[in-house]
Structures are given as C-alpha cells and as structure tokens.
Structure 1
Amino acid sequence: MDLKPKITVVGSINMDIVTITDQLPKMGETLIGNQFKMNPGGKGANQAVAAARLGADVRMIGCVGNDSFGPLLKQNLQNEGINVTDVEPVTDSTGTATIVVYDGDNSIIIVPGANQHVTAAFVESKRDVIADSDVLILQLEIPLEAVQKAAEIAKEHGVKVILNPAPIRKLPRELIEKINYLTPNEHEYTLLQQGLDEKELKEKVILTKGSAGVAFYQGEKEVSIPAYPVKVVDTTGAGDSFNGGFAVALSKGHSVSEACRYGNAVAALSTTKLGAQTGMPTNEEAEAFIKGMEG
C-alpha cells in the first residue's frame, strides 16, 4: 500500500539567474561580480521540489515557455520525481528571476512570462488532479484568479490548502476563507493585515521569522517554534523549503507544532548551500539533522 502523501502544487516555474557579489552597485554604477549561476527556480517549482525530496508524491501544475529554458525546467522537475503531466508549454518566454546575492542575503526581480498563462480556466482543466490531493500548495507568482480557482476546487473536495502569500498583494476575503494555512513572513503579514479580519488571520497564519523561527496562535496563545542555528550560505529558497516541509508533515498527520519544527529543519538545511533547489534536503537528511540538534 502506497502511503506517500499526495501533494499538488499550482504555481510558478522560473529560471533563476544568480549573481554573487561583495558589493551592491549604486544607480548607474558597474561592478565586477564574483560568480554567476543559472538554477531552476520559481516559488511553485521550488516548493514542489522541496516536498518531493522529502518523500511526497508531488504533481506540478504550471506553464513553461517555448524557449530553451522551458524543456530544461520541465526535465528538472521530472528528474526530481515530480509528475509533470500538467506542466504545459505556451507561446511566451519562460519565467525568470534575476537574483543578486550579497552578504548571504538576496534581492530578486521576477519576470512572470509563461506563468501568466496559468489562468482560472487552465486550473479548472486540472480539477481532478487537485481533488485527488491530500494537500494543495499555492503562492502568488501566478495570476490571482488561478490561485482563487485552485483554492475553490480544493475546498470543495476537502483538500487542505497552504497559501504562501508571496510576492505579497492584496487578497480578497473570499480567498482567505478557503485557505487552511497562510505562511507569510513578517513583512507580508503586516501588509496582509490591511483590510482583513485579524482574528480570522490569526487562526490561519503560520508566521515565518527567519532566524527567529516560526510563530502561530492556538486560540489566544502565541506559540513560537525556534529556528535551528546553522552557518548560512544563501537564504534563497528557505521559505519555499519551509513550505514544502510543513506541507509534507501536515499531510502525514502531524500537529501544526510538529509540522513547523520539521519545516524549520528543512529550511535551515536549505540555507547551508547555494541556490534555491540545490540546497533542499531529503527526509533522511532532515530527520538526521533534527536528531543531531535535539538528541
């Protein structure tokens, strides 16, 4: 009997174009950087890879372009053991993220490209895939109409929904009502609070705070789950790693506290290597890490 959790990700698929530098240029200034890399990315694809590495049965729903990046990114997902039947090529450029890594942190510019073709109608055509999932993971690098449609289908079929609200934008209350867990960082949470019911948000929010760990509410009581200390090389993809880990733990029936602890371990390990997907650990690595830190 296959007990692998079924996780579906509806989201972005990008090529990350990474420059590592010791200094950030001022406007109009040209500098010599240290290193250049191209890595598979996109918040959707990153979260799919994170969940797949941790042993989940993952299906990706999204679009790639008809350029040279498209087939490479689709093949990369397949190599990770992800079902890519619902990743479709469109006549557009593949999504890109230009990332500048400086002093262990990063700045990012995204060009959506093919990700804009993930429409409500496209998602509706994948209804059966979403309905057959244990957990649905969503982000905001695709059109909001697609996010809303995916959440609507999941709620109709009793599928748990995790929304990572990044990059942040104003969200309609009807969408929040269909979400089980929201995973913003502190900046995103501040913006989310504008115009939304704080009590309702508190019931759903898993607040990621980087090196300060994760916080959520149980009733009126705030619960904090500390981060694991590691030597940070690159924070790109840490939030995506947390979401993948959190989703896998939840889908296995763990409590929110346990899922946050596991997600923290996955995120911590991901920051010890360069690149979003390249640093993501396996379940064995995450469990050995937790055992080593807590044992």
Structure 2
Amino acid sequence: MHSLGMRFPQGDWQTVRMTTIAVLGSANMDLVVRQTRLPLPGETIFGSGFSTVPGGKGLNQAVAAARLGGSVEFLGAVGSDAYGAELRALMATEGIRTDGLATTDAPTGTAHISVVDSGENSIVVVSGANATVTTLSEAQRTSIEGCGYLVMQCELPLSVLVEGIALARASGAFTVLTPAPVMPLPDGFLASVDLIVPNQIEATELTGESDPVQAAEALSAGNTWAIVTLGAQGSVIAHNGTVLGVAPARPVKAIDTTAAGDTFVGSLVARLAARADQTAAPTEDEMIDAVRWATTASSVSVTRAGATSSMPTLAEVAAILA
C-alpha cells in the first residue's frame, strides 16, 4: 500500500467560518466500567472504576465537530429523565443547537461499556429514546434542508436514515455515514453517501473483502469517498474506486479507545466544513488534509478516558499541528 507520508506536526490550521453540520444520530449515557480483562461466560470479576459519560455515536460525533470549531445541530431524541437533561446540558455547553432534539416518554439511551487495561473496549447499547426516531420531525427536516453536511450512523432506525439521506441529497448537502453497527442497507443507499467511514471490521462486513484496500476500493465505487480506519495502523483513503494511499496514525500510548472513531469522523467533517469553497466537492488534497486533522484529534482522544470527555479542542489540535 502507498503511504501518504503525512508527518506531525505540519499544516496551516486556521479557524474558518464553517457551514452547518447536521448530525442525525443517537444520544446515550455511557455507563463505563474499567477492568483488567473481560470476564468469561458465567464469571464474576472486580472492576477498578466506574463512571457515567455522555455518549452515543451521534452525540460523540457532534461534540467532536463542535470542539473543532464546527457549527453543529443535533437531530435525535432523549428521554424526560435525568440522563436526558444531562445530555441536553452538555449540548448547550458545547454550543450545539437542539431544535431537532425531541423529548420522549422512552428512557434516554444507554451504552454499557467495558474498558480493559490495554485501552480496548466492548459495548452493549440499549437504544431507549433513540429507537423512537423512526421518521423526521418538521424541525429535523428544516435543519437538514439548511445544512451543508449531514452526518449519520446506524444507531437510529433505518427508516429515518433513508428519509434523512434522501432529503439531504435533494437539498444538496454532503452526506457522511459511519456504518456502525453494521446492518443490511436497502439497494441504492450507499450510492447516496458521499463519504463512508467504517472501521476495518465494518468494511469487511459490508464488502466481504478482508483486505482494507480492496474494501475501500469497493466502498468508494461510483464517485464516493471511503476512509477505512485501522486504529494504530492509520486509515485507507479511496475515491471513485481507487485507493489514494494510507494515512499513518500519530503514535501515542492509548488508555481508552472508546471514542476514537467518532472523534475521527466529527473532526474530519469539521475540517471539510471549513473549506474555503463549499460550492465544490472536496478535492483529493482537501480530503487528505481533513484526514490529517482527524487523525491528530483522534490520537489525542485515546490518551484520555471516556467518550465526549476525551475529545480535544481546536486549540489543542492546532498546537500539535503548529
């Protein structure tokens, strides 16, 4: 594989007024247990710590984009419980607009996360209020019609993702999908995605290709961008069926990888939304530049515990890349 040879630090990282990023996704409260290893079936072990941290792939990506200077709207649902109030408060603190955030009778979604000492994690999600978002509200439609970027994951019902991407395409927005958790998608859905960002496991499940280069080629066919993330091995960047190369990771000592992928996606979109010409599709140089930005932000997040609590600010990333 051809390496893109990106070095750290490098780049001219200036704050630019960004077009709006609408994130249609899940909002959860993460219930995090730290432990030395995962228990065997039927086994009880002691953990070394417990914390509650706002999360959910949608909220994670929204916070990552906002911290990197993005103008962000969140579209989804929370319950009328204490967790829901806490998630709303976080969004207010981060400057994320919530006109498209509904309050439902269902409890706020939760994610039950086990983090082992190596930094790896396993997650069980209970959807709660997220499962009630089966169709777009009028406020959510208005947000999508006015946004420059629509960011989605697969933690909401498929029906609303189909509706959202169709509306975004009709409105001229750039569409971004993290296909997690992987699910069967209707014919033509991926063809409507401008940028897909799976990890290696997700890319393999979607394409049947175990080689990340071949998976990226398959996912990027038809003028689509595909970025397959490989953790400490970096990421493969492809466009229109052709791999551009491998973007290396920034070496760090990881303590918690929970939000690495979401930090990558949110930061990537924030950088794309800062391009000088939003009337044109991203160029290869602009996409590589955005991946460098996202790689740096993600590398910072894995050195800290938690999901949203681990995400860096614009100033922190700019200092690394100065």
TM-score (norm 2): 0.85
SS of the equivalent of 2:47 reads coil
Please state if 1:229 is matched with 2:251.
yes
Q: Which residue of structure 1 aligns with residue 141 of structure 2?
A: 127
Choose which of 203, 207, 216 in structure 1 pairs with 2:237: 216
Whichever residue aligns with residue 207 of structure 1, its letter is V
> Any stretches of 5+ residues in structure 2 without a counterpart?
1-15, 210-214, 276-281
Misfit runs of 4+, over 6 Å: 195-198
Matches for 1:98-113 after TM superposition, within 5 Å: 98-102=112-116, 103-113=118-128
SS of the equivalent of 1:278 reads helix
Distance 1:201 1:171 in 2: 16
Distance 1:50 1:58 in 2: 10
Q: Which residue of structure 1 aligns with residue 63 of structure 2?
A: 49
The percentage of counterpart residues that share the same residue type is: 37
Distance 1:18 1:121 in 2: 31
Choose which of 164, 172, 178 in structure 2 pairs with 1:158: 172
Q: RMSD over aligned Cα, in angstroms?
A: 1.9
1:226-278 per-position Cα deviation (integer Å, ceiling 9, x unaligned): 11011111001110000011101111226111111111111111111100111
Distance 1:285 1:37 in 2: 24
Does the 8 Å contact 1:171/1:192 carry over to 2?
no
Task: State the Cα distance separating 1:120 from its structure 2 match.
Answer: 2.0
Q: Which residue of structure 1 aligns with residue 225 of structure 2?
A: 204
Distance 2:71 2:301 in 1: 20
Distance 1:285 1:139 in 2: 26
Q: Matched residue pairs, number? A: 289
Q: Which residue of structure 2 aligns with residue 282 of structure 1?
A: 313
> Any stretches of 5+ residues in structure 1 without a counterpart?
none
Q: Which residue of structure 2 aligns with residue 136 of structure 1?
A: 150
TM-score (norm 1): 0.93
Higher relative contact order (CA 8 A, sep 6+): 2
Q: Which residue of structure 2 aligns with residue 262 of structure 1?
A: 293
Choose which of 65, 81, 106 in structure 2 pairs with 1:67: 81
